[in-house]
Amino acid sequence: MKWIVLGLVVLFTFGCAAVPLAPEQKERVYQADYDRTWFAVLDVLNERVIPLTIVQKDSGLIITDVVEARTGMIDRFKLNISVRQQSNATKVRIDGRFEYFNRSGSFDLGRWEVQESTGKLESELFRSIEKKLVATLVKE
């Protein structure tokens, strides 16, 4: 009987634990010069129709406008992207603010609440930037 109780305690304690998400990757280094990387980032954002509010090539700063995406819930995000020259490469960092609209209040009122990034959007953008850089290399 003790073993059954112990087994149930262990099962309920560890069996319901959430699987931790993979840590999000916020930056990537590309073996490409600054100008090619800068324009690849802008091309990727343009292809995804992500509106930009600040574009400062000299400082390497790109800030997007708020983008709403309907994914079952109402979600929105805003990205701060920095592009930095390193010795023989360029580092791109993506910091995002992700929010969802929580309607848990009465009278269908709600508020925007910050949610953790899954890293999916950032990973997709990094892959698209890399593909764009490879494509421009092939053209040269």
Closest by CA to 66, choosing from 46, 51, 56, is 51
**pLDDT surpassing 70 at residue 12:** no
Residues paired with 90 in a beta bridge: 30, 85
In a domain, residue 4? The reply is no
**pLDDT surpassing 70 at residue 26:** yes
In a domain, residue 43? The reply is yes
Full domain range(s) for residue 106: 24-139
**pLDDT surpassing 90 at residue 54:** yes
In a domain, residue 17? The reply is no
The torsion of the CA quartet 35, 83, 86, 30, rounded to 10 degrees, works out to: -80
Q: Confidence class of residue 9 from pLDDT cuts 50, 70 and 90?
A: very low
Q: Where residue 110 sits, what CATH number does that domain have?
A: 3.30.530.50
The predicted pLDDT at position 6 comes to: 43
DSSP 3-state of 115: strand
pLDDT (tens digit per residue) in 73-99: 668 899 999 999 998 999 999 999 888
Helix, strand and coil content of the chain, in percent to the nearest 5, comes to: 35, 35, 30
Number of domains in the chain: 1
In a domain, residue 16? The reply is no
Cα dist from 82 to 8, 19, 79, 109, 110, whole Å:
50, 31, 10, 36, 33
Q: What is the pTM of this model?
A: 0.76
The predicted pLDDT at position 100 comes to: 82
